[in-house]
Amino acid sequence: MAKIRKEDSALGATIDEIDLREPLQTKEVEFIKQSLAENEVIFFRDQEISPTQHKAFALNFGELQSHPVYPTVKGFPEITILENDEDNPSKIEEWHTDMTFRKIPPLGSILLGKIIPKEGGDTLFASLSAAFEGLPNDMKNSLKDMQAVHSFEYGFKESLEEPYGREKLKQALIDNPPVEHPVIRTHPVTGKRLIYVNSLFTSKINTLNDSESRELLSFLCEHIRKEEYQCRFRWKTNSIAFWDNRSVIHKPDNTYWPQLRRMERITIDDTESPY
């Protein structure tokens, strides 16, 4: 049976003694679900899995999504390729929760390391529940009824400014109009409260005027990425990170450029709205 080793940080744990090439037993799936909710991000090592096995593993946790913009593995529209090299540096510098521009953002993602650079390329995660606990009490109270706007257009503003950017992303813009989410969300499994904003997609806090909104968002986005709420995952080939997209923000450490880094990601649908 699988075993868990917790990281010495606010979140994160590694699951050992499990072979993800094989179909999982129900109790193993339950163990992983519980481990994910409790630790917010879980890691696996030495899992040499094919796209078919990657997909079969992910299907244990829900239905699978496709991304409106990124390329995919041939024959697997649900496996997104994240590949960067000298000619195509990573554009993701911001801490974020994936796809909060959707009405129901994903439950989580399962990211597989295929080609790992010698140096750099770690992924950083930060706990939104630990960040909530770190707020002063009066602030916890004042945030609890606020709603914020999350926007695809805001998150992809740099791509939109590139030549033909708006034309290329026309359909994605139509399919993903701005949505609102509560600023404080409750995790459906653990019941923990979370700060649910991120600097990539959250454009405005509704009830505040523009300058108050900017000030509060910049405070919250600074706060949630404090080092005390973080863990850092050092990739090896065939490592996996499975994060709970409801309770973490993450970002890549892009210092590996111009080396090649190739990752394959499956994103799992959530069934519960964050309201």
Minimum CB separation of residue 22 from Fe ion in Å reads 28
> Of residues 154-193, which lie at the interface with Fe ion (CB under 5 A)?
none
265 counts as catalytic: yes
**Tokens 């454009």 found at:** 203
* DSSP H or E run through 215: helix 210-224
Residue 264 binds to Fe ion (criterion: CB under 5 A)? no
| From 54, 67, 96, 193, active-site residue | 96
| Interacting span for Fe ion (CB under 5 A) from 61-69, 98-106, 129-137, 227-235 | 98-106
Query: Measured between alpha carbons, how far is 21 from 42 in angstroms, rounded to an integer?
Result: 17
**Tokens 């829900």 found at:** 62
250 counts as catalytic: yes
Residues in the chain: 275
Residue 149: how many other CB atoms lie within 10 Å? 17
| From 193, 250, 261, 270, active-site residue | 250
Burial pattern 228-259, b for ≥16 Cβ within 10 A else e, equals ebbbebebeebbbbbbbbbbbbbbbbbebbeb
Among 40, 78, 98, 244, binds Fe ion (CB under 5 A): 98
193: amino acid identity, one letter: R
Minimum CB separation of residue 98 from Fe ion in Å reads 5
244 counts as catalytic: no
Minimum CB separation of residue 255 from Fe ion in Å reads 17
Query: Measured between alpha carbons, how far is 86 from 88 in angstroms, rounded to an integer?
Result: 6
Q: Please, is 148 exposed, middle or buried when counting C-beta atoms within 10 Å of its C-beta (0-12, 13-18, 19+)? A: buried
Q: Which is nearer to Fe ion, 31 or 201 (CB)?
A: 201
Closest-by-Cβ residue to Fe ion is 98
| Interacting span for Fe ion (CB under 5 A) from 58-66, 97-105, 208-216, 240-248 | 97-105
246 counts as catalytic: no
| Interacting span for Fe ion (CB under 5 A) from 27-35, 69-77, 94-102, 204-212 | 94-102
Q: Which is nearer to Fe ion, 98 or 244 (CB)?
A: 98
| Interacting span for Fe ion (CB under 5 A) from 9-17, 93-101, 148-156, 212-220 | 93-101
Q: Which residues pair with 204 in a beta bridge?
A: 149
Minimum CB separation of residue 31 from Fe ion in Å reads 25
- For residues 125 and 40, the answer to whether their CB atoms sit within 8 Å is yes
Q: Which residues pair with 149 in a beta bridge?
A: 180, 204
- For residues 121 and 253, the answer to whether their CB atoms sit within 8 Å is yes
| From 54, 67, 98, 261, active-site residue | 98
Q: Which is nearer to Fe ion, 70 or 219 (CB)?
A: 70
Minimum CB separation of residue 94 from Fe ion in Å reads 9
Q: Under the rule (CB under 5 A), what is the footprint of Fe ion?
A: 98
Residues annotated catalytic, as ranges? 96, 98, 250, 265
